[in-house]
Amino acid sequence: MKKRIVSLFLCAALALPLGCFPARAAGVADVPQREKAAVLKELEVMVGDETGALHLERGVTRAEFTKLLIAASPYRDAVGESANTDPYPDVSYRDWYAPYVRAAVDAGLVKGDEQGWFHPQATITLQEGATMAVRLLGYQDSDFPAPWPAGQLALYHSLDLDQGVAAQGGTDLLTRGDCLHLFYDLLCAPTKTGTSYVNLLGHTLNDEGVVDVPALFRVEQEGPIPLTGAWESLLPFAPADALIYRDGERAELSELREYDLLYWAKDQAILFATGNSQSAMGQLTAAVDGPVVAQGSAWKNSIPFALTSDTPVTRNGARAAVSDIRDLDVIYWSEYAQALYVYAKTVTGTVEAVTPSLAAPTAVTIAGVSYPLETFEAQYAFSDLGSFRKGDAVKLLLGRTGGVAAVRSLGEDETVTQVGVVAALESRTYTDNDEEPYAARVIVLTAADGQRYAYPYPWQDADDFEPGELVEVTVSSRQTQVRRLSRASLRGTVNAQATALGDLPLSPDVEILDTYGKTATKSVYPSRLAGVTLSSDMVRCYRTDETGAITALILNDVTGDLHSYGILTDLETFNSAMYLQSVLTLDLGGQQQVLPISDVAFPAQEGPICVMMDGQELKNVRSLTKVDRVALDGQAAVAGSDRYPLADNVAYYIYDRNAGSASSAYTLASRSQVLAEGYTLSAWYDTPPSQGGRVRVVLAQK
């Protein structure tokens, strides 16, 4: 008979209107206990003891459950430090739980027994806890026609509030572990009005109907760092011990991918990964702080972590150490990566323009080059509130983006010297402090860093300079001086690490410029010269610092990277007593070009060639040297034990000897096409690798 009565109670409960029994939350059963615990800790529903332990095996008193109930409710912020009156005869206003019981009574969430007692120290039962939970969802006792607790328990099961709860019978006692599951399930349940309960607390569910953990922890997320290198050591917990989410979904450690962007919630040991983010670089950049300008040792106080000899330092793009940082270096840092990013690039000269206005400057022009103002400090310095004006001799300290991070006055006796080649002599228009235009003649310098600078200079002192000449420009607070340089004698081999040329070390900030003719120039990285032996006629000029390290190096056509490479498909020569006329047909990167040439013969024949131009003037066309039957291995062509480095822009061609004409015999191809089965490869280089040469053309032939 007892079972029959319970069944009738359930039927009566299930006779409620459909709106009282919303759809079940499909994903709650799949949420691991650890995730539930992290959510309840973050919401301060179950916070654990001083160590964070939740003691899930312990029983829960009615007083303790009432505190959990209020902590999981919209009323939690209204709880006072104490109650003014006794909520129940057995609950004194002096008891620690009295404010929570008072708040629960006022909200209609709890009731005493028939005698009016609350029994705060009694262990709570499932039917009592379920009743309080459905009241929190907006249901009243009057909503259930069946005698208590049948209707409440029926709704409790229908809403999936039982997922993970070990207690089954209505009189079973609840543990803290049962409460963890019950209150998490409550967050995911719909209220009587149909909205998700967690929305009342200001949070959201994801598409699976469970608490959106990445959104919940978004404010507390630290980072980011990219998943590369020793990324595990940068986290405050072991990744193997973490809850992991990738692109908003629960994931395993093995599902993370290199260069995922990582954030974390330290207190709960949760790792959030973002893959294939279009804005990842911007997010990483935003996580880099600074800058601060190195001056003495005071700058170290601005870094929010301890600096040691092991602190990762990148200076001008190269690996360095804290001890390598010099005065006026511009320093940025990543607190999460515990690393420094240092820039030692300066520009010295006279302020020619501040744009668009002194009220809101965004750029400054020095030596004909406009530099954006990267920081507020720099903007302030050149504003009408700052101290720098047109005509001032200054030193710009450039930052991460190439803009101005800071500015310093050029000292009375301070000079800065640049070496380079004359690019042009020009006349330009400037404006004075009153914004009146005036004309000035300038000498344009291509400096060793590859940048062009224009220095106003008296024409009578500069009219004998020619494009391509070596010059030295010295800038001081008083004047700009230009003088012609003679060739410097230097020879030796650049070591494999590209840190020394013969007996002279290369400065970490060395600037190298390769030149050809009067106008062709190209900035060169030291690594491009690794293993190259330089003869005296390959070095035009060099400069060293006080330690003897080379800081500037100007070369004479060492790398060959200033020239064009392709195929000479046809050469016709017309020779008469009056003149020599040649017509060259070229394929340069798949583009056909016809060049008529008078009164000169070039040492070239049909096949791969090098075309050497000085501005618009054709200076030479010469054939490349062949290495037969090679294999491609990474960035090298291999023939036996010999390796020939490939140029970065090596041209691949397929050669068909049976084509009707030479112009149709060569077809521009890709690397994958020439590696197809059945082709024999030949490599064509300009000069031997030991002299800076590279393989410029690879021919594939059946």
Residue 82 pLDDT > 80: no
Residue 26 pLDDT > 80: no
In DSSP notation, 181-217 reads HHHHHHHHSB-TTSSBGGGGGT--B-TTSSB-HHHHT
CB 343 within 8 A of CB 303: no
| Gap between the Cα atoms of 194 and 6, Å rounded | 28
What is the tens place of the pLDDT at every residue in 477-528? Answer: 778 888 899 888 899 999 999 999 999 999 988 999 999 999 999 999 999 9
Confidence category of residue 5, pLDDT binned at 50, 70, 90: very low
Q: How many Cβ atoms sit within 10 Å of the Cβ of residue 213?
A: 24
**What is the secondary structure of 640-701 as a DSSP string?**
TTEEEEEEEEEEEEEE-TTSSSHHHHEEEE-HHHHTSTT-EEEEEESS-GGGT--EEEEEEE
Confidence check: pLDDT of 12 > 80: no
**Structure token digits, residue 301:** 């106080």
Of the CA atoms within 13 Å of residue 509, those in its CB half-sphere come to: 15
Query: What does the pLDDT read at residue 591?
Result: 87
- What does the pLDDT look like over 230-253, one tens digit per residue? 889 889 999 999 999 999 899 999
DSSP 326: -
Distance of CA 467 to the CA centre of its chain: 41
Residue 236 phi/psi, 5-degree rounding, is -85, 10
The span from the CA of 403 to the CA of 82, in Å, is 59
Q: Any idea what DSSP says for residue 560?
A: -
Name the pairing type of β-strands 249-251 and 243-246. antiparallel
- Please count the helices (runs of H) and the strands (runs of E) in the chain: 13, 38
Instruction: Indicate the residue type of 259.
Output: Y
The tokens describing 108, both together, are 């209609």
**pLDDT band (50, 70, 90) for residue 324:** very high
pLDDT given for residue 460 in this prediction:
64
For the purposes of burial, counting CB atoms within 10 Å of the CB of 691, is it exposed (0-12), middle (13-18) or buried (19 or more)?
middle
Q: Is 119 left (phi over 0), alpha (psi -120 to 50) or beta?
A: left
What is the per-residue burial (b if ≥16 Cβ within 10 Å, else e) of 581-617?
ebebbbbbeeeeeeeebeeeebebeebbbbbbbbeee
SS3 95: coil
Handedness of CA 166, 172, 178, 182 (dihedral sign): positive
CA atoms within 13 Å, Cβ hemisphere of 366: 26
Instruction: Please spell the DSSP secondary structure of 343-375, one letter per residue.
Output: E--EEEEEEEEEES-SSS--EEEETTEEEEB-S
Q: What does the alpha-carbon distance between residue 113 and residue 472 come to, in Å, rounded to a whole number?
A: 98
Taking the C-alpha atoms of residue 73 and residue 71, their distance in angstroms, rounded to an integer, is: 6
- What pLDDT, in 10s, does the model give residues 606-648? 899 999 999 888 899 999 999 999 999 989 999 999 999 999 9
What is the DSSP secondary structure assignment for residue 23, as one 8-state letter? P
Average pLDDT, integer, range 329-350: 91
pTM, entire model: 0.65
